[in-house]
Chains A and B, each alone.
Chain A
Amino acid sequence: MSFDHSGRVAFVTGAGSGIGRAIALRLAFEGAAVAVADVQLGGANQTVEAIGAAGGRAFAIELDVRVPAQAEAARDAALETFGAIHFLVNNAGLVRMSSLDDLDEDEWDLVLDTNLKGMYVVSRAIAPAIGDAGGGAVVNMSTIESEVIVSSAGHPQVHYNASKGGVKMLTKALAVELADRGIRVNAVAPGPIATSFIPGGDLRSAEAWAFMSTRLLIDRVGEPEDVAAAVSFLLSGDASFITGTQLPVDGGWLTR
């Protein structure tokens, strides 16, 4: 591990699985105390157990990021347990796939409310606490699909793309607004990462690889740990002059 986050408290949403769990584990291994928030408490508990088994400090919080009262309660629980919050990782998100003709309002709202409104809800709840702690950093989970439509995947997802495009600009706006409180705000934009994020998708399958290998410059599917490394960097003092940016962690997907 590379960064020393000891004495810091991180609040990670969607930390019960996938990329969020990898981020929580990494920050904990680097010394941070971690509030592990997830809409599914069971997953959050498993992340906390893994952190505890490695000697780290963490506790699990059930959190639906769409609900302001839950975000405020989760913040208060984190402050009560660890005394402060320095880092926020807005990682919770989901994807659904529907063509425009089949996309009903409920599904649109589910995706936009979780991926975009959730970042506003949780940021509004927690940014003041980070300011009270003397400053810190926020990292928002974006995607390469905030930049391009991966059309050849054959899965229309106008709501997902719109939500993540929103995340990209939300990141810039929060960076500008929160700079004077000593809070840096950045996004990471993963390419294909081997998680169970895509319903029914297996990025390690031969079929998936046949498509992805035509895009990637690095000869492998990304791992959650690749994203966690970038998040840890952006939260650390090594990134003290970086704010308002979106860093692709995409194996070169967006390069050509």
Chain B
Amino acid sequence: MRLVGKVALISGGGSGIGAAIARRFAAEGAKVALTGRRPEPIQSLAEEVGGLAVPGDTSDPAHAVSAVDRTLQAFGGLDVVVANAGVGFGGTAGDVSDDTWRATIDINLTGSLFLVRAAMPHLEARGGGSIVLVSSVSGFVSSSSSAAYVASKAAMIGLAKSIAVDFGPMDIRANALCPGWVHTPMGDESMDELAADRGISRGDAYRLATAMVPLRRAAEPDEIASCAVFLASDESSYVTGTTLLADGGGMAVDVASVAFDSLRGSSVGGSSVPEGSVWEGSS
């Protein structure tokens, strides 16, 4: 029980990694507040874990302020912020539309900023806290036709470092959690594309995409949530401004992103992910 007495606000808490984090945090003794675009999943999960659901648009600064305020009203303070809400759209730097680019940056990056900015005075008021930005191995390496997603995830790593530098003196730590492939709705969307290309099942697509990852599988969301617990808890009290990779070893080998692309048949200049194709969920 590593999060007893702590209050955590988690964006994108309705499914995938965010939902797993909410469950793990609650199991570790935290009070959790969840945000998400769709009300039903976060309300259902909030009931399950005795938490609070605040539906809304992550890219709206007023929503972030409201989510923080309602968390304070419900639980009397705030100690941990997990900026997890995210989307992925296809498109290269040559063909990504203005709307796709802006939506991706607005939700993944600017939405994280809004949440952190709204929370910061209240973390300071508690005498410190921990911020976890759920980035991705895509913050380090690029798969094909994912310009906006990759740029947003790399920027989240920079944002975490910036927060760590500026708010370290207030005992606020900030780190980026960087998963590889995870069995989530977003991962499923990607695998369904690969599966359709290859005429194979989703499960076989996951196996193909992770064939060259040392652990030879995608993660379960709970395996990422357990990393978030470490970063949120006092166990990591001397860890700040860094990235925690949870990628099955993919970044240790030279195929962290190549595996998926080569199997998907992408080539330079090609755009195998159709413009407008959406992977929605968390991370």
- Give me the interface of A with B, judged by CB distance under 8 Å: 2, 172, 175-176, 179-180, 184, 191, 216-219, 222-223, 226-227, 229-230, 233, 237-245, 247-252, 254-256
Contact = CB atoms under 8 A, between A and B. Distances in A.
B197 interface: no
B61 interface: no
A191 B169 CA distance: 17
Contacts, number: 123
Interface stretch (B87-95, B185-193, B199-207, B214-222): B214-222
Question: Helix, strand, loop or mixed for chain A's interface?
Answer: mixed
Interface residues of B, number: 38
Interface string B102-131: 000000000000000000000000000000
Nearest to B179: A241
Contacts of A230: 235-236, 239
| A172, A175, A184, A241 — most chain B CB neighbours (10 Å) | A241
B241 A254 contact: yes
B242 A175 contact: no
Contacts of A227: 238
Top-9 shortest CB links A-B: A255-B241, A244-B252, A217-B168, A179-B214, A238-B226, A226-B238, A172-B252, A244-B249, A252-B241
B71 interface: no
Contacts of A250: 238-239, 242
Given A217-B168, A226-B238, A241-B246, 15 more contacts: A179-B215, A180-B216, A184-B215, A184-B249, A217-B240, A229-B235, A238-B226, A240-B226, A241-B223, A241-B224, A243-B215, A250-B238, A252-B165, A252-B242, A255-B242
B253 interface: yes
Contact of B252 (A176, A180, A238, A256): A176
